[in-house]
Amino acid sequence: MSIDDFDVKFGGVDLALLDSASASGVGAASDADPVPWDQRWHRSFESWKPTASTPAPIMLVFCKTPSVIGMEKSCAKIFQLGMYSNRPECGVYLVGRSPTGNGWKLPATGEEHQLNCKAVETAGLDELPTIVVGLVDDGILFLPRGIKHADDHGVLIPASHDGSPMSDEVLTAELDSFAATNLPCDELRSELWTDASKYWPIKEAEVTIQKFLLIALRAVFKNYVILSETKVAPGRIDILILPGSSKEAGKVVLELKAIRQYGSTGIAVSSSTTIAHLVGGVVQATTYFQDATNKYICTYDMRRDMLDEVFVQARVDCVTNNVKLRPYKVYPNATSVRHAVLASMDCEGK
C-alpha cells in the first residue's frame, strides 16, 4: 500500500507523530482536545504572518464539516490549504482541525476585513471559532465564539516564535506569563464563571483554562508535540509535552486543578474536598507518566477566600514525589485584579 493510499484510507494520519507517540507509549491524539485546530496549524500561522506588502487579513473559520458547508455555500476548494508555505489570497476560508485538510474560500471575500466579517455573518457562520491572521502586526487573533462576539472578546496569540527549548525555567516562565496575561483578560474570564459576583465557577473551569493554555504552549514550543487528555493506563493526562524529534529533550506532564469555594450552582465546597482534590492531582502527576522528565501540578485558585491551609499536604507530597507545584490565582472581575496588584505592590514596599 502506498503512502497516498494509506492517507486516504486512514484519514490523513500523521505517520511521524504516530510513530513518535507509539515509541513513548501514549496515544497520538485525543478527541477531547479542546482547541479547534491541530498544533501543526501554528506553522501555517507563522508562514502567513503579515508583512508591509501583505497587510490584509486571512480569516479561518473552523468547522466540523468544512467540505459539507463549503459545497453548500458555493465555496472554491483549496487543496490542503494549511500546508501552504506561501501566504494564500486574502479572504475567508472554512477549514477543519487538521491543516492537511482542504480549505473552502467563501465567495466575495478578500482584502477588506469588514466585508469579510459581513460575508461570514450572512453565511450564518459568525459563532464558529475563528482565527484572523494579518489583522494585527505579527500576531493572530483568536475569537473562540466567532466574529459575532468580536467587539467584546478576542485573544491575541504570537504568530511568530522560533521555538523555545524545554526546561523547567523556560516552561515555568511561560506558565507564569500565561497566568499574568491571559487569566485576567475579558475573554477567558467571561468563560470561567457561572456568576462571577458570587464566585461561582463554571463546572468545566479546568477544561476552559486548559484550552487557552494549550494554545499558548503550542505557539511557543513548536518543536514539541503538545497533547491534551492523553489516554494512559491509570487515566488521562491533562497536558503531555513530548519531543518532536531526537534533537529535543524532555517529557513533561502537566496536571491542572481548579480550586473552588463554591460549585457552579453555588453549593459550598469543603476544605477537606479541596485538600483531597489537590492531593489526588499530585498522585496523577506522579503516576500517570513515570518516564516524564518534569511533572507539574498547576493550580488555579478561584476562591473568594484564598486560604493557604489547603495546600499544606499537597506541598509535602510534591516534595516527596518530585512534582513541581505552580499555584496561580483567578479573579472574577477587573476590580479584583486591580486590588490584587495593589496588594502585591504594598507587600513589596514593606
Which CATH number goes with the domain that contains 98?
3.40.1700
The model's confidence at residue 251, banded by pLDDT at 50, 70 and 90, is confident
Q: Which of 101, 130, 158 is the last residue of a domain?
A: 158
The answer as to whether 12 is a domain residue is no
259 neighbors 303 (Cβ within 8 angstroms): yes
Q: Which of 139, 158, 177 is the last residue of a domain?
A: 158
pLDDT tens-digit map of 320-341? 999 999 999 999 887 766 655 5
| 88 and 116 belong to one structural domain | yes
| 224 and 334 belong to one structural domain | yes
The answer as to whether 18 is a domain residue is no
| 332 and 204 belong to one structural domain | yes
pLDDT tens-digit map of 201-246? 999 999 999 999 998 888 888 788 899 888 887 788 999 998 877 6
Using the Cα atoms of residue 207, residue 210, residue 212 and residue 214 in order, give the sign of their dihedral: negative
| 254 and 134 belong to one structural domain | no
| Separation of alpha carbons 55 and 141, rounded Å | 14
Full residue range of the structural domain in which residue 130 is found: 31-158
Residue 304 sits in a domain whose CATH number is 3.40.91
pTM of this structure: 0.78
Average pLDDT, the chain: 82
Residue 149 gets which letter from DSSP?
G
| 129 and 173 belong to one structural domain | no
Q: Which of 103, 138, 158 is the last residue of a domain?
A: 158
pLDDT tens-digit map of 234-250? 788 999 998 877 666 67
The maximal CA–CA distance of the chain, rounded, in angstroms, is 71
Q: How many domains does the chain have?
A: 2
The model's confidence at residue 84, banded by pLDDT at 50, 70 and 90, is confident
The answer as to whether 298 is a domain residue is yes
The model's confidence at residue 2, banded by pLDDT at 50, 70 and 90, is very low
Q: Which residues fall within 8 angstroms of residue 325, CB to CB, at 6 or more apart?
A: 296, 297, 299, 311, 314, 315, 318
Q: With 70 as the cut, is the pLDDT of residue 78 above it?
A: yes
| 198 and 294 belong to one structural domain | yes
The answer as to whether 5 is a domain residue is no
pLDDT tens-digit map of 50-68? 666 656 789 999 999 999 9
The answer as to whether 13 is a domain residue is no
